[in-house]
Structure 1
Amino acid sequence: MLLMDYFLRLLPGLIVVVAIYLLVPQEITVLKIFVLIFGFIFMQDAMTPLNAWVIGVNGNVLWLRFIEDALILITIGLLSLLVTLLICFSNRYLTPNFIWFKTNSKSRSLFIGTLVALLIAIIFMLTYLFIPIQDRGGEVALHLLLSLLILALFGNILEEVLFRGFFQNYL
């Protein structure tokens, strides 16, 4: 039911975003990029009134919790991946500028990226170590970890393509 509500909420706005995108000439690249970014923000924000995610504050602690339905989380993650592929396929003139790996060594780039991600995770874990779990939005069910990972990875791929792929390379 929530997925249908999400789709119905998105449909009118997505029709407008796609129509504007198709009407903008390819030569006005920056406007096409902004329309795509607006569509991304719109897709994210449509989740809020459906309670697909909840943002809370407890004292000085900001927390975020997603809906506890693995199917919905995976579906939204896969939808993000599909949208990413469609955007990349339909904007091939922008994708040659993508820099996926900064060095010639892909394994070195992956190692450095993983190391930085772990460092950031450790900093957050140490920061939250002395804050009770209830003050951080409560526990996350273990059966949701894989679906949350899928949502996080595929949703962030879309964000990276739009902001660092298209927009940053355009600038």
Structure 2
Amino acid sequence: MIAEGFTVLLDYAMYLMPGLALFGLWFALTPRTQTGLRILILVLAFVLMRDVMTPLRMWSLNGELQIGFLANPFALALLGGSSLLLVALIARLLPDLWQLVVLFKGNRLIGALVGIVAGCLIGVPLRLYQGAEVAAIPDYWSWLLGMAVLAYGANALEEVLFRGFLQGFLEQHVSALRAALLSALTFSALHAFLALSVTQLGWPILLFTLIEGLACGLVRMRYGVVASTATHGTAILLIAVPMVGL
């Protein structure tokens, strides 16, 4: 399981390398004064990292918006941990952009609880609609631990980019509410390729990501990026299953 996890991560990194190299060069040659463009480059690089997971069979989607992930919990934990490492590197190497990130606002405990509840409001109805019988899925509970690391770790990176950098940047130019709405629309729009080409599942993915983006944007507006990460991670964790049998 451990060897397989490292192999998955290595294959994924090698597959991504040419595209990420181009994004890295684009970012390096972009003047630091072009904050909006630099954020866009980072966001698009993340979209590449996310969407190539589908052809590599690292995750899958079906018509009920059930997300299947690798059945190897160690591989999932590696991916989630690597995402957290990227967040730390971004904070270290890009301090001018990191200052846009509002990690906490207001009461931290309440923010975390609100984030989790918002994630449950998104994920629980879909879980009930899917009717997934977790008791029938082999090794589901051991898999869930690795999935939790991925759900919150990978979505911490996504939230830093969309609700940290993008929403924080937009708040310097428009109202906080409009910035939240714009970050949600951008978030959903950048799932269009995944929805209409990679998976061909269409509007259900766009509607789900718009609702999810609105929830995360509003939670971030009131409580910060850590709370919006709780929203995003909880929603994904609730609708995820191992890819066994999908």
Aligned partners of 2:43 and 2:161 also within 8 Å: yes
Cα deviation for residue 128 of structure 1 reads 3.9
TM-score (norm: length of structure 2): 0.60
Secondary structure of 2:99's counterpart equals helix
CA distance in 2, matches of 1:74, 1:33: 27
What does residue 113 of structure 1 align with? 112
CA distance in 1, matches of 2:160, 2:74: 25
CA 1:14–1:131: 2 relative to 1, 3 Å? closer
Cα deviation for residue 22 of structure 1 reads 0.5
Cα deviation for residue 44 of structure 1 reads 0.7
Aligned partners of 2:72 and 2:143 also within 8 Å: yes
Aligned partners of 1:99 and 1:165 also within 8 Å: yes
What does residue 225 of structure 2 align with? none
Q: Aligned match of 2:22 in 16, 26, 33?
A: 16
CA distance in 2, matches of 1:51, 1:80: 19
Cα deviation for residue 122 of structure 1 reads 5.4
* Structure ranking higher in helix proportion: 2
Secondary structure of 1:4's counterpart equals helix
Q: Aligned match of 1:72 in 64, 72, 75?
A: 75
CA 1:15–1:110: 2 relative to 1, 3 Å? same
CA distance in 1, matches of 2:10, 2:158: 23
TM-score (norm: length of structure 1): 0.84
Select the structure of larger CA radius of gyration. 1
Q: Does 1:153 align with 2:152?
A: yes
Q: Deviation per CA, 1:47-94, whole angstroms, max 9, x where unpaired?
A: 11111101011xxx2210101001210111111111111122121012
Q: Deviation per CA, 1:113-142, whole angstroms, max 9, x where unpaired?
A: 3144135415643554365326x9x74711
Unaligned runs of 5+ in 1: none
CA 1:98–1:2: 2 relative to 1, 3 Å? closer
CA 1:39–1:130: 2 relative to 1, 3 Å? closer
CA distance in 1, matches of 2:166, 2:130: 38
Aligned partners of 1:2 and 1:50 also within 8 Å: no
Q: How does 1:138-149 map to 2 (within 5 A)?
A: 139=137, 141-149=140-148
CA distance in 2, matches of 1:131, 1:74: 25
CA 1:131–1:97: 2 relative to 1, 3 Å? closer
RMSD of aligned alpha carbons: 2.2
Unaligned runs of 5+ in 2: 1-6, 171-246
> Identity rate of aligned residues, in percent?
32
What does residue 10 of structure 2 align with? 4
Aligned residues: 162
